Amino acid sequence: MNVTILDTIIDELEDKEKALLYGYRDERGAIALSFNKKDTLECTGVFFKDQDAHQLEDWKGNFIYSMNNGHLDCFYLSSDGSRKDVELETFNYVTDYASRNQGLVDPSDLQQKTVAIIGLGSGGSMIAQDLMRSGVTKLILVDFDTVNISNLCRSAYSLSDLGKKKTDALYENLLRINPLAEIETYDIDVLKFDTVKLKEIIDSSDLIIEGTDTVKTKLLINGLAHDNTIVLYPSVYDFGKGGELLFTTPDTPCFECVFGSIVPEMLEVKKGDWDYGTGQVKPMAGLVSDIRIVVSRTVKLALGFLSKGKDSFLDKITEVDCTLLLIGNENNFFIFDKPFQEVWAETEINPECICQTLC
């Protein structure tokens, strides 16, 4: 058995007489991450500054931590009272976790940014997971739906999540990636959200991912966010034939500018995922591999915006005057004559758009 411990905990232990350590443990050992019990975390053992026989008796079957001359030791106390020294390793979650992203993104910078994801279905759930793996640790998750069996073939959920609220299930899954993450959840339909509170969430976020399939929600977020917050609008077309990714900033065309007067060709492409009459969700068929393409582009673009001004690679993945990425997965689909093609499309501000006239 061996035990791994977060290095920041060791520094704090020097000032404690006794402390419980929480994290993950199994028959192989334990990972100590926190002094506080957080949702998915369990007790991994106890720290004693000064040990005595009575204290140890109460902790049989657990890991015991102790500090000797500034050095942290650990042993396992079996049920019969015998002791077994345990190999103790330390790690820094920020640097060690993101070591394979070194030179691509700055994890310390990403940790300061907040991303709100509205809609936690196929795209939203995987985007949240990928952002967490990329170093983003502050997320706001909004969805009112529950996980059902049809979600499992193309989302971040698993069998153990069935029947749970998507916010709760994704929250637990993300903490298994980074238990130190700061995540807020709102189990509510955005269209029924208190407008003042929703505006507060948007204003406190550095980036919004609008991952729902309803036009009404997209228009609501567009109206509340366009004047001061970056928003990404990913979308996958019916049967996964292709997709798109629109980004908006206060200086670029808003969602309504781009899609307010859709050309017939675009309307034909998008009719599978939008119901313009009701604005309600329409069931859409699509493979996870097709959804993944839009998800990966969304995450890469999000990271570019979140690192903007420091180590941003935004100019390497976008084109001037273009805010709409069009994606084709099949032969002779929409504007594409070959499969697996992508093109950035130029967009322009509609001077008569309400979002522009109110700015």
Q: What is the third-level CATH fold of 103-358?
A: Rossmann fold (3.40.50)
- pLDDT tens digits for range 29-81: 899 988 887 777 889 999 988 766 567 778 888 899 988 777 888 999 888 88
Whole-Å CA distances, 5 to 65, 73, 230: 11, 11, 37
pLDDT(278) > 80: no
pLDDT number for residue 310: 63
For the residues 116-131, what does the mean pLDDT come to?
A: 97
The residues near 117 (Cβ < 8 Å, ≥ 6 apart) are 124, 127, 128, 139, 140, 141, 142, 208, 209, 211
β-strand partners of 205 = none
For the residues 135-154, what does the mean pLDDT come to?
A: 94
d(CA 37, CA 284) in angstroms, rounded, equals: 40
Per-domain residue ranges of the chain:
2-91, 103-358
- pLDDT tens digits for range 199-209: 999 999 999 99
Taking the CA atoms of 30, 35, 40 and 46 in sequence, report the sign of the dihedral they define: positive
At residue 258, φ and ψ (nearest 5 deg) are: -80, -45
Say if domain 2-91 classifies as CATH 3.30.420.480.
Answer: no
pLDDT number for residue 266: 65
Q: Whole-structure pTM over 0.75, yes or no?
A: yes
pLDDT-derived band at 325, boundaries 50, 70, 90: very high
